Amino acid sequence: MGSTSAQHNGGLGRRDVIKRAAAIGLITVPTMSFLASCASSDSGSGGPKAEKGTASAKNPLGVNETAPLDFVLFDGGFGTEYATDAVKRYETAFPKAKVDFRATQKIRTELQPSFNGGTPPDLIDNSGAEQMDMGVLVGKKQLTDLTPLLDAPSVDDPAKKVRDTLRPGVLEMGQFDGDPVWVLYYAYTVYGVWYSQTALDRLDAEYPEDWDAMLALCAKAKKKDIAGWTYAGKYPYYLPFSLYPFIGKIGGREVLDAIDNLEPNAWKHPAVKAAFEAYYELYKKGYVLKGTPGLDHIQSQTAWTEGKALFLPNGSWVENEAAKTTPADFQMKVAAPSSLDSSDKLPFGTIWASGGEPFIVPAKAKNPVGAMEQLRVMLSEESSKNFTTKVKSLTSLNGGTDGLALSTALQAGVDALAKAGDNVLNPRMQDWYAELQKQKIGTGALGELMAGRMTPAEAMKKCQEFADEAAKDDSLTHYKHR
């Protein structure tokens, strides 16, 4: 796995990857690529795998045309229609195959028993607050190597392999220690500070490019009874969407690499201290919406779309997830974190962007070939455009947006990536150590800090204690930037 500073994509360094990404208008969105809890032990024998079918030009993977396919989708910000549409395309290609498709928000609760029993579904969108810990699944050898899918001809251009149609950086996200690729991230997310251009215009304000300007704008808003910030107080692992790139901007990407690597004293770096103190100041000065620590992600998004707060740390799935409460004239946008000051290591515009909506094929799936074919169908231009049209987000397919009108949020994501240039960060904590990121650092430290129940010094100490525990935990598979 490449470092955040030099991920490799067929020999391309991260610098070239991001340049190319910006050039093709790469972008925004999706999903909660994180969170959550332990996966099961690798026990149980499961039923027999479906026999492979005969490979052909129309069926390059050799799907068994009568084998059933079991597909479980996370029912989150992107809804389910994009997936049911792709399932129909699979069923059209294989009319004798029965697809058992279902959606749930409780991925871990509902699927853990089948993993334990050796009878998991064939294809899973492992996302949301109940995401199974990807690092654990990989470490316990519970996932299928997706190389056959990546080396298969793409739907739209059989002369091109699927791997050659993906946006830069997507394959690396699915790796944990170099090859192979275990996870296919279907969406592409820009994380950052979300706001309404209309709300800023009403305050005669621009997006603040440094922290003094941020505090001044929050003070101005407070006089109008508008809070500066809100966030998902019940799920404070949303805070890193703006806080991590803020830390990386202040101290350089090596600070985030050290945090991901669980290095001793990584959380005691001056950049972490500066970032924590800046966010704590929002609390101390009363710039966080009252009651925020008790809000879930939907409630905080609704407070924001209702104009009760200016800024919200989130990912680009928020446009679709908050659509029902967003006013027509809201002009939703995303920006990179403000600078702390002119001494920051990286320029204003430094942002976090990466693949989202992680799809996996369990090692004990009965029909892994069918699962990979379903993903191949989803990575067609037709399915990709359908996703972008319906959920206001881009897929990891490189291109496929010709003729589509982009919303203000989607365009802001494109613009933010173009502005970032080489300075796109990709912290891996949420992929490598989901429980550490979500339950411990998120809830046990960052949430406490922003609620004013912990000082910055106490929060730094707590984060380091959590990281040290994880570093010493032999039951975890440990990953490192290389």
The answer to whether 425 and 245 have CB atoms below 8 angstroms apart is yes
DSSP string, 23-53: HTT-----------BPPPPS-----PPPPP-
Cα(346)–Cα(367) distance, integer angstroms: 47
- Strands 394-395 and 332-335 come out as unpaired
pLDDT at res. 2:
37
Confidence at 47, pLDDT banded by 50, 70, 90: low
Confidence at 385, pLDDT banded by 50, 70, 90: very high
Q: Decide: pTM greater than 0.85.
A: no
218-268 tens-digit pLDDT: 999 999 999 999 999 999 999 999 999 999 999 999 999 999 999 999 999
Angle at 239 between CA 214 and CA 232, to 5 degrees: 105
Taking the alpha carbons at both ends of the chain, their separation in whole angstroms is 6
| Mean pLDDT over the full length of the chain | 89
**What average pLDDT does the segment 171-179 reach?**
85
| Residue 35 predicted with pLDDT over 60 | no
| Residue 5 predicted with pLDDT over 90 | no
pLDDT at res. 69:
98
Cα(186)–Cα(208) distance, integer angstroms: 32
Cα(11)–Cα(66) distance, integer angstroms: 40
320-352 tens-digit pLDDT: 899 999 999 999 999 999 999 999 999 999 999
| Residue 29 predicted with pLDDT over 80 | no
Name which of 140, 119, 279, 294 is nearest 214 in CA terms: 279
| Residue 1 predicted with pLDDT over 60 | no
pLDDT at res. 6:
29
Cα(342)–Cα(8) distance, integer angstroms: 31
267-304 tens-digit pLDDT: 999 999 999 999 999 999 999 999 999 999 999 999 99
pLDDT at res. 15:
32
| Residue 418 predicted with pLDDT over 90 | no
Q: How many residues belong to the chain?
A: 482
Domains and CATH numbers, the chain: 14-189+356-405 (3.40.190.10), 191-352+428-472 (3.40.190.10)
The fraction of the chain above a pLDDT of 70, given in percent, is 90
Cα(406)–Cα(332) distance, integer angstroms: 12
Range list of H helices, 118-269:
134-139, 147-151, 170-173, 197-202, 211-223, 240-251, 253-260
| Phi, then psi, of 315 in degrees rounded to 5 | -115, 170
The two counts, helices (H) then strands (E), for the chain are 20, 10
| Residue 357 predicted with pLDDT over 60 | yes
Cα(31)–Cα(20) distance, integer angstroms: 23
Q: 26 or 402, which is more confident?
A: 402
Exposed/middle/buried for 183, CB within 10 Å: 0-12, 13-18, 19+? buried
**What average pLDDT does the segment 461-466 reach?**
98
- Strands 351-360 and 309-315 come out as unpaired
428-450 tens-digit pLDDT: 998 889 999 999 999 999 999 99
pLDDT at res. 177:
77
Question: By mean pLDDT, which of 29-33, 69-73, 307-311, 412-416 is the weakest?
Answer: 29-33
| Residue 11 predicted with pLDDT over 70 | no
93-151 tens-digit pLDDT: 999 999 999 999 999 999 989 988 999 999 999 998 899 999 889 999 999 999 999 99
pLDDT at res. 77:
85
